């Protein structure tokens, strides 16, 4: 292999609760409209025929506790709290058992969104990349291994901004289950270790501004925090 002309910053390694090694982020897949109440607040219906996806660059991931400069090119920067699923192995087949054994663990994540750009592009039937794939736009709390934690329908997911609750739901509100999503996405990608799937956000998304502190969580997983600072 020839040497690189220059070095790139390394992609983040997500800490794993109780382990000395971390999870290297490979690809970041995100599901759209996976809570009916969020789809409704976005003025669209849930597509119950099949889920749909967008992606974020792994180089745009940051860890919980980060300070994120208010991004360029937007006047409506939104929070989305989500459950993330981290894969630790390729899928041998698409049975429930094989899918479960490929899941390394779970964490709380933020899908930070330039909502004005997402909606502008959506209206023109253009890709959402400017709205979704932004520097620091994927935020990850430490991962808990699947041996230590399992999502249930009653598991609570929530987000506060400056201590005020903005988003709250139960994981039972997911339209497409984690198993459904991994099985469907496997029809398009050879999923493998390092792949991370954000499973969609509940209702209550809204804007943040410089100076805001976001805190969120999913019962039983590590909490997430993010502070928005002035544009850099
Ligand atoms: Mn999202």
**Ligand 1 geometric centre to CA of 132 (Å):** 8
78 alpha-carbon distance from chain centroid: 13
Instruction: Give the distance (Å) from ligand 1 centre to CA of residue 109.
Output: 10
Compute the distance between CA of residue 232 and CA of residue 169 in angstroms, rounded to an integer. Answer: 33
Distance, CA of 160 to CA of 115 (rounded, Å): 18
Degrees, nearest 5: CA angle 207-41-57:
55
Expressed in angstroms and rounded, the spacing between residue 80 Cα and the centre of ligand 1 is 6
- Cβ-based neighbours of 119, under 8 Å, separated by 6 or more: 131
For the whole prediction, is pTM greater than 0.95?
Answer: yes
pLDDT in the model for residue 81: 98
- pLDDT at residue 47, as a whole number: 80
Tens digit of each residue's pLDDT (9 = 90 or more) over 10-62? 999 999 999 999 999 999 999 999 999 999 999 998 888 899 999 999 999 99
Question: 111: CA distance to ligand 1 center in Å?
Answer: 5
Averaged pLDDT, 198-221:
98
pLDDT of residue 232: 83
Output the CA 90–ligand 1 centroid distance in Å.
24
Evaluate whether residue 88 is within a structural domain: yes
Is 103 contained in some domain? yes
Return d(Cα 139, Cα 96) in angstroms, integer.
28
What separation in Å is there between the alpha carbon of 190 and the centre of ligand 1? 22
Give the closest residue to 172 by CA, choosing from 198, 148, 154: 154
The answer to whether residue 222 is domain-embedded is yes
Tally of domains in the chain: 1
pLDDT score for 92: 84
* C-alpha 18 – ligand 1 centre gap (Å): 28
Does 85 fall in a domain?
yes
Residue 84: pLDDT band with limits 50, 70, 90: very high
The overall average pLDDT reported for the chain is 96
Instruction: Print the domain residue range for 134.
Output: 23-229
Q: What is the Å distance from ligand 1's center to 133 Cα?
A: 11
pLDDT category of residue 204 using cuts at 50, 70 and 90: very high
Interval between CA 20 and ligand 1 midpoint (Å) = 30
Confidence of residue 69 (pLDDT cuts 50, 70, 90): very high
**Matching residue, tokens 């253009």:** 126
> Is residue 8 assigned to a domain?
no
Cα 191 to ligand 1 centre (Å) = 20
> How far, in Å, is the centroid of ligand 1 from the Cα of 2?
38
CA atoms of 42 and 127, how far apart (whole Å)? 17
CATH of the domain at 145: 3.90.850.10
Q: Tell me how far the alpha carbon of residue 107 lies from the centroid of ligand 1, in angstroms.
A: 14
Mean pLDDT score, 94-116: 97
Q: Is residue 64 part of a domain?
A: yes
CA of 104 to the centre of ligand 1 (A): 21
What does the H/E/C string look like for the chain? CCCCCCCCCCCCEECECCCCCCEECCCEEEECCCEHHHHHHCCCCCCCCCCCEEEECHHHEEECCEEEECCCCCCCEEECEEEEEEECCCCCCCCHHHHHHHEEEEEEEEECEEHHHHHHHHHCCCCCHHHHCCCCCEEECCEEECCCCCCCCCCEEEEEECCEEEEEEEHHHECCCHHHHHHHHCCCCCCCCCCEEECCCCCCCEECCCCCEEEEEECCCCCEEEEEECCC
181: CA distance to ligand 1 center in Å? 14
Output the CA 4–ligand 1 centroid distance in Å.
34
Does residue 13 lie within any of the structural domains? no
Say how many Å lie between the CA of residue 30 and the centre of ligand 1: 6
């Amino acid at each position: 292999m020839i040497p690189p002309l220059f070095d790139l910053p390394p992609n983040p390694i997500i800490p794993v609760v109780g382990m000395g090694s971390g999870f290297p982020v490979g690809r970041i897949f995100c599901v759209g409209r996976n809570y009916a109440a969020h789809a409704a607040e976005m003025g669209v219906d849930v597509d119950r025929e099949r889920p749909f996806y967008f992606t974020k660059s792994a180089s745009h991931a940051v860890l919980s506790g980060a300070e994120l400069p208010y991004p360029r090119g937007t006047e409506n920067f939104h929070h989305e709290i989500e459950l993330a699923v981290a894969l630790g192995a390729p899928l041998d087949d698409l049975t429930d058992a094989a899918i479960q054994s490929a899941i390394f663990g779970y964490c709380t994540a933020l899908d930070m969104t330039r909502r004005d750009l997402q909606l502008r592009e959506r209206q023109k039937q253009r890709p959402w990349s400017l709205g979704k794939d932004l520097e620091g736009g994927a935020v990850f709390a430490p991962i808990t291994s699947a041996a230590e934690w399992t999502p249930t329908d009653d598991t609570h997911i929530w987000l506060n901004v400056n201590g005020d609750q903005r988003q709250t739901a139960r994981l039972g509100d997911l339209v497409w289950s984690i198993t459904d999503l991994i099985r469907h996405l496997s029809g398009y990608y050879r999923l493998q270790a390092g792949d991370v799937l954000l499973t969609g956000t509940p209702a209550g998304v809204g804007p943040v501004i410089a100076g805001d502190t976001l805190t969120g969580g999913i019962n039983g997983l590590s909490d997430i925090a993010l502070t928005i600072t002035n544009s850099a």
